[in-house]
Amino acid sequence: MEIRTVGIVGAGQMGNGIAHVFALAGFDVLMTDISQEALDAAMALIDHNMDRQISRGKISETDKAKALGRIKTTLKLAELGKTDLVIEAATERETVKQAIFEDLLPHLKPETILTSNTSSISITRLASRTDRPEKFMGFHFMNPVPVMQLVELIRGIATDDPTYQSMVKVVEKLGKTAASAEDFPAFIVNRILMPMINEAVYTLYEGVGSVKSIDQSLKLGANHPMGPLELADFIGLDTCLAIMNVLHEGLADTKYRPCPLLTKYVEAGWLGRKTERGFYDYRGETPVPTR
Ligand SMILES: CC(=O)CC(=O)SCCNC(=O)CCNC(=O)[C@H](O)C(C)(C)COP(=O)(O)OP(=O)(O)OC[C@H]1O[C@@H](n2cnc3c(N)ncnc32)[C@H](O)[C@@H]1OP(=O)(O)O
Ligand SMILES: NC(=O)C1=CN([C@@H]2O[C@H](COP(=O)(O)OP(=O)(O)OC[C@H]3O[C@@H](n4cnc5c(N)ncnc54)[C@H](OP(=O)(O)O)[C@@H]3O)[C@@H](O)[C@H]2O)C=CC1
């Protein structure tokens, strides 16, 4: 089946980026969220990020106008039932994702492929609670979606080959590169990246370095584009903690123990850039370390 229409659930930082790249690649996109404000903010951000691409000569004004014309939004999850491919990109919480699939299933065409952009949760388990585990996959984009080249493709135990091949074609059409990962906690990228971020938080917690010195060390000493704490704020500290919890519980190894300081920031509601405070305070002109 050729995929032409795409439904996206969750219009947060990943959902809006996913809508952006699909629309530019010529797909019709229908995006939903639980609040109209989230949908409006996502559309404004897509507009802004496309302007950024125009100013760098990556796309034209016409490309932008056509792409924006391909994105529709709705508050009714059921409307996504008519799309060929659904990408769930809501909050990294299994109960939230399960509830979304449960509500969506009665409205889906039989041939629709269901995917989740989850950073860590078992694809096999999510798939097993749907009516189509063979047509269910992990479809893991990296942040910021318009910039990052990689997409992880994760097959659940029951995913069939035609579904996998369809998704490989979709990734090609997006002009991105697919990496296949087996379905184990946090797959490849986050299995490696998130323990590094967690270790950076331990380094801060134990007083080995300050926010500034830790980030500077990895930027200047290991040529990372962002320091680990800056990156954690960029990803969202709630998402980082959720991924560490999945690693810790799923692999039952104390080396994945989430740092208590990371938990404390999340409990404070200091989730990083999206709440304007995390390891940095973003409310002023320039980010100021909070420790
Ligand atoms: C948690 C998970 O499940 C998985 C994950 O995603 S892990 C996170 C993976 N992501 C990373 O590791 C990102 C690390 N950081 C970076 O690569 C860079 O800092 C960055 C690309 C985000 C910004 O780079 P920079 O050099 O500081 O900024 P800048 O020069 O302004 O931008 C570089 C490019 O990114 C674009 N860009 C920057 N931020 C953007 C955003 N939020 N949305 C869209 N585009 C963005 C710019 O338009 C520019 O595009 P071109 O190269 O096409 O011209
Ligand atoms: N941040 C990152 O760097 C990456 C994240 N991911 C994954 O992508 C997914 C989304 O993450 P991200 O975009 O960062 O998170 P955000 O918090 O930015 O966005 C999540 C969005 O989903 C909405 N939402 C929550 N519940 C529902 C629901 N029942 N129906 C529809 N929308 C809902 C939220 O609304 P509200 O705010 O009102 O709760 C919010 O707008 C997660 O699974 C995450 O692990 C994958 C790769 C990278």
Q: For residue 77, report the distance from its CA to the centre of ligand 1, in Å.
A: 30
92 annotated among ligand-binding-site residues: yes
- Condensed to tens digits (0 to 9), the pLDDT of residues 132-158 reads 999 999 999 999 999 999 999 999 999
pLDDT band of residue 234 (cuts 50, 70, 90) is very high
The percent of residues above 90 in pLDDT, for the chain, comes to 99
Mutate to test the pocket of ligand 1, among 50, 52, 92 (most ligand atoms within 8 A of CB): 52
Ligand nearest to the CA of 144: 1
Instruction: Report whether pLDDT(128) > 90.
Output: yes
Domain boundaries of the chain, sorted by first residue: 5-182, 191-289
Distance, in Å, from the CA atom of 20 to the CA atom of 240, rounded to the nearest integer, reads 24
127 annotated among ligand-binding-site residues: no
**Which residue owns the Cα nearest ligand 1 atom 6?**
142
- Condensed to tens digits (0 to 9), the pLDDT of residues 30-58 reads 999 999 999 999 999 999 999 999 999 99
Q: Rounded mean pLDDT of 220-239? A: 98
Q: For residue 237, report the distance from its CA to the centre of ligand 2, in Å.
A: 12
Q: Count the Cβ atoms, other than its own, within 10 Å of residue 123.
A: 27
What per-residue confidence (pLDDT) applies to 104? Answer: 98
Q: Count the Cβ atoms, other than its own, within 10 Å of residue 250.
A: 15
**Is 189's C-beta closer than 6 angstroms to any atom of ligand 1?**
yes
**Is 119's C-beta closer than 6 angstroms to any atom of ligand 1?**
yes
pLDDT band of residue 255 (cuts 50, 70, 90) is very high
User: By C-alpha distance, which of 101, 99, 51, 40 is closest to 73?
Assistant: 40
Beta strand 288-289 with 280-281: parallel, antiparallel or unpaired? antiparallel
What per-residue confidence (pLDDT) applies to 1? Answer: 77
What per-residue confidence (pLDDT) applies to 53? Answer: 98
Distance, in Å, from the CA atom of 1 to the CA atom of 178, rounded to the nearest integer, reads 19
Distance, in Å, from the CA atom of 287 to the CA atom of 283, rounded to the nearest integer, reads 7
CATH for 5-182 (3.30.429.10, 3.40.50.720, 1.10.10.10, 3.40.50.620):
3.40.50.720
ipTM: 0.94
What per-residue confidence (pLDDT) applies to 167? Answer: 98
Which CATH number is 191-289 given?
1.10.1040.10
**Which residue owns the Cα nearest ligand 1 atom 52?**
147
Distance, in Å, from the CA atom of 67 to the CA atom of 22, rounded to the nearest integer, reads 8
Residues in contact with ligand 2 by the CB-under-6-Å rule are 9-15, 32-35, 38, 89-92, 96, 100, 117-119, 140-143, 235-236, 239, 274
DSSP symbol at 259: P
**Is 124's C-beta closer than 6 angstroms to any atom of ligand 1?**
no
Enter the tokens of residue 222. Answer: 């290991």
Atom of ligand 2 nearest to the CA of 238: 17
Q: Rounded mean pLDDT of 196-211? A: 98
Distance, in Å, from the CA atom of 204 to the CA atom of 196, rounded to the nearest integer, reads 12
Distance, in Å, from the CA atom of 252 to the CA atom of 229, rounded to the nearest integer, reads 25
Instruction: Report whether pLDDT(211) > 90.
Output: yes
Atom of ligand 2 nearest to the CA of 141: 47
User: By C-alpha distance, which of 260, 270, 275, 266 is closest to 290?
Assistant: 270
Atom of ligand 1 nearest to the CA of 142: 6
| Active site positions, annotated | 119, 140, 152, 190
Distance, in Å, from the CA atom of 285 to the CA atom of 289, rounded to the nearest integer, reads 13
